[in-house]
Amino acid sequence: MNFLTIIVFFLIVLQINAQTPNLAIADSLYAVGNYSEAIEQLENLQEKSNAAQIRLAKSYVAARDLDSALKTYKDILLQHPKKLLLAIEYGEVLIKAGELKSADSLFDLLATTYPENATFQYRLGTIKEKQKDSTFIGFLEKTIELDPHHQQALYKLSKYALSRRDFPVSEALSLQGLEANPKNPSLLSILAQTYFNENSYILAITPFEKLLELGQGNEFVHSKLGFSYYQVRYVKDAINQYNLALSYEDRNSDTHYNLGKLYARTGDLKKSETHLLMALLIKKQPVDAEFLSLALTYKLQEDYEKAFQYLNSALEENPDNERALYERAIASDNFFKDKKAVLNYYQSYLGKYSKNGNESLIHLAEIRIKDIKEELHLNGE
């Protein structure tokens, strides 16, 4: 044991010096986490009082010897069947041990005996959930009828509503719980995800920020907050959050892709290029959107040769990317000396999208085709 452990050990021994030596030693060992030694002391007691047996059961649980814990709890309850707190502890251990049928029977009896107790309804709900029994929702709903601010039940119910995309319910339930405990990170997460999934990004920002204030930052929170900032045009804040997300997982193609687009907005085209290239290297599925964004970054740098190259790559990934087909014509117009070849690229775009494409792009392509034809005519070509 280290020095601090020794100090704690002797302080506890002094506080409980009225107990038998072995029981006092067992308590001190348990308090500093030496469960195996505590169990040894308790098992060697000559006279095993109820208090000693309860300590032994708890020590077994702490040491993860659940079979021994269950046997000890059962022995005590056979002698003292009316000890309610002991019965609850026994039920909790049954759940931990996966003895769900026995746990269900016990908590059902307790819930029948004490119908106004929200905790028993909640325990029945969690057991039913583990058993894949759809009636678990009813028990959780009964829990919050009895205790409207039951944090765990509200979390499970709001999470269930979110999974079913029932956003009004997940919002209402998470807010109901946060009224009682505004710093509950689980409910803040559900609320933030609810707003995020219904595209209410300006509302999602506050609960995500509160999670960070509570020290709950991770890749998920930073990336979702970054995207929320992005959607409301807080570009610098979005960049900061995405970079923090990369500190947790630096091979997330979506994070690099969004950073590439954000840096392009700030005019930092070098960083935009770097992150878009990283997105391309990482991503394993069709990457036409990333190729297009990278091409547009090169277009802003007036590097039309590279823009043309990546637009071709985008079209190889997805021949139906209208914007890439149009931008390829633009890049060729700024890079090719052969205007007949340029004309072919514009006509290729119109040939595919003149009837069902973007009206603005079609109009611009038609004007440019007309200009090129006039230019070729004047040059006798």
CATH of the domain at 16: 1.25.40.10
Instruction: Pull the structure tokens for residue 42.
Output: 């308790």
225 within domain boundaries:
no
Among the listed residues 350, 302, 310, the one whose alpha carbon sits nearest the alpha carbon of residue 326: 350
Q: What is the CA angle 147-151-154, rounded to 5? A: 80
Residue 378: what pLDDT?
A: 84
What is the gyration radius of the CA atoms in the chain, in angstroms?
Answer: 33
Among the listed residues 76, 80, 79, the one whose alpha carbon sits nearest the alpha carbon of residue 93: 76
Q: How many domains does the chain have?
A: 1
52 within domain boundaries:
yes
The phi, psi pair for 214, rounded to 5°, reads -85, 5
- Ordered DSSP codes for 74-139: HHHHHH-TT-HHHHHHHHHHHHHTT-HHHHHHHHHHHHHHSTT-HHHHHHHHHHHHHTT-TTHHHH
- Separate counts of helices (H) and strands (E) for the chain: 22, 0
Q: What is the CA angle 227-233-239, rounded to 5? A: 55
Residue 341 burial class via C-beta count within 10 angstroms: exposed 0-12, middle 13-18, buried 19 and up: exposed
pLDDT digits (tens), the chain, 381 positions: 555 454 444 444 444 444 455 778 888 888 888 888 888 888 888 777 888 888 989 999 999 999 999 999 999 999 988 899 999 999 999 999 999 999 999 999 999 999 999 999 999 999 999 999 999 999 999 999 999 999 999 999 999 999 999 999 999 999 999 999 999 999 999 999 999 999 999 999 999 999 999 999 999 999 999 999 999 999 999 999 999 999 999 989 999 999 999 999 999 999 999 999 999 888 766 779 999 999 999 999 999 999 999 999 999 989 999 999 999 999 999 999 899 999 999 999 999 999 999 999 999 999 999 999 998 888 776
42 within domain boundaries:
yes
Residue 181 burial class via C-beta count within 10 angstroms: exposed 0-12, middle 13-18, buried 19 and up: middle
Residue 138: what pLDDT?
A: 98
What is the extent of the structural domain holding 44?
1-97
Residue 21: what pLDDT?
A: 59
CB 208 within 8 A of CB 224: yes
292 within domain boundaries:
no
CB 188 within 8 A of CB 210: yes
d(CA 72, CA 66): 10
Instruction: Pull the structure tokens for residue 363.
Output: 């109009």
64 within domain boundaries:
yes
Residue 377: what pLDDT?
A: 82
62 within domain boundaries:
yes
d(CA 21, CA 18): 9
179 within domain boundaries:
no
327 within domain boundaries:
no
Residue 19 burial class via C-beta count within 10 angstroms: exposed 0-12, middle 13-18, buried 19 and up: middle
Residue 20: what pLDDT?
A: 57
